[in-house]
Amino acid sequence: MRDTFIRAIGYALLLALPAGLALADTWPSKPIRLVVPYPPGGSTDVTARVIAESLRPLLGQTVVIDNRPGAAGNIGADAVAKSAPDGYTLLMATSTHATNISLYKNLPYDFVQDLAPVAQITFIPNVLVVGPSIAAGNLAEFVDYVKSGKSPVTYGSAGNGSSQHLSGALFNSMVAGEMVHVPYKGGAPATADLLAGQIQTLFAPLVEVLAHIKAGKLRVLGITTSKRSPLLPDVPAIGEVLPGYEVALWNGVLAPAKTPAGIVNKLNDAIVKVLNQPEIKARLAEQGSEPVGNSPAEFKQFIAAEVEKWKSLVRISGARVE
């Protein structure tokens, strides 16, 4: 009976291998659904639509955007994690998903185990912007102002545990300041209150405040990524004044775990080709995004490091969502 059992397992494995290869050979044979776990119109949605539109001629199938907002991206991610691993349901994930692992006490899915990395799409900087009530003319002066403790400095965010919150908490920790966090229900109302003078500063995604910077309504003092943004070449990276400071947002495509490697690789090849197109680079640059286009293995390694990094930032911020 033992020998029969072993032979049965062997036959099953042999049968499964050609089936997986055959599936990869015929994929895609119908439209692909790319789940964006945020509302339409946001930076993640805009980027996803740029990529989806450009994938169609390479894959020979339409890539349909499916917005599934809610619970800081967890509703959409959970839906994809529980979908069939056949390459027809994908997730446009962001750095928020790596943060949620430490931020939420109980998640209905495992971001690392239930999803297979396909390709990182972009890096996205946050920028430190201030309103007119802050007299500091540059980043070094702002650091000194916060350190002095002469008056409380309020910084807004899109909510507890958001990238804006964690960017500000890390900054406050590194300067040993007493900045006061003011959470909002999204980045738009936080920006509105900064413009109105209700708060004094914001660590916002560049794409969300770029128009206000260009209009002279907000002053930008620093970039949260390790290097300067081509859109704002005269604005220093915060790490130039505070060595070791870095907060880089990102987005990327993932598939349900157990999606055949052949499908993952074909999709990765197509995404990398899209990101190397000059017109796509230009469109992403307009948002302040830097295209990446790494391999599935590189993206997996990157996510593992990101989970640990955001875990540390969540600890520093003290944020928690039940």
| Residues 188, 313: Cα–Cα separation, whole Å | 23
Name, in order, each residue with C-beta under 8 angstroms of 74's C-beta and a sequence gap of 6 or more. 37, 97, 100, 104, 107, 108, 109
Give 251-280 pLDDT, tens digit per residue: 999 999 999 999 999 999 999 999 999 999
The pTM of the full predicted model, rounded to 2 decimals, is 0.83
CATH 3.40.190.10 placement within the chain: 125-240
| Residues 34, 66: Cα–Cα separation, whole Å | 6
Give 159-177 pLDDT, tens digit per residue: 888 899 999 999 999 999 9
The pLDDT value given to residue 239: 97
Give 37-72 pLDDT, tens digit per residue: 988 887 889 899 999 999 999 999 999 999 999 888
The pLDDT value given to residue 318: 87
| Residues 253, 138: Cα–Cα separation, whole Å | 37
- DSSP symbol at 238: G
- The pair phi, psi for residue 123, each rounded to 5°, is -105, 145
Give 279-292 pLDDT, tens digit per residue: 999 999 988 899 99
Question: For residue 252, what are the β-bridge partners?
Answer: 93, 120
| Residues 63, 251: Cα–Cα separation, whole Å | 17
CATH 3.40.190.150 placement within the chain: 2-124+250-317
Using an 8 Å Cβ cutoff, are 218 and 130 in contact? yes
Residue 24 above 60 pLDDT? yes
- Return the CATH number of the domain spanning residue range 2-124+250-317: 3.40.190.150
Binning pLDDT at 50, 70 and 90, where does residue 23 land?
Answer: low
| Residues 152, 143: Cα–Cα separation, whole Å | 13
Tell the CATH superfamily of the 125-240 domain.
Answer: Periplasmic binding protein-like II (3.40.190.10)
Residue 92 above 80 pLDDT? yes
| Residues 188, 269: Cα–Cα separation, whole Å | 35
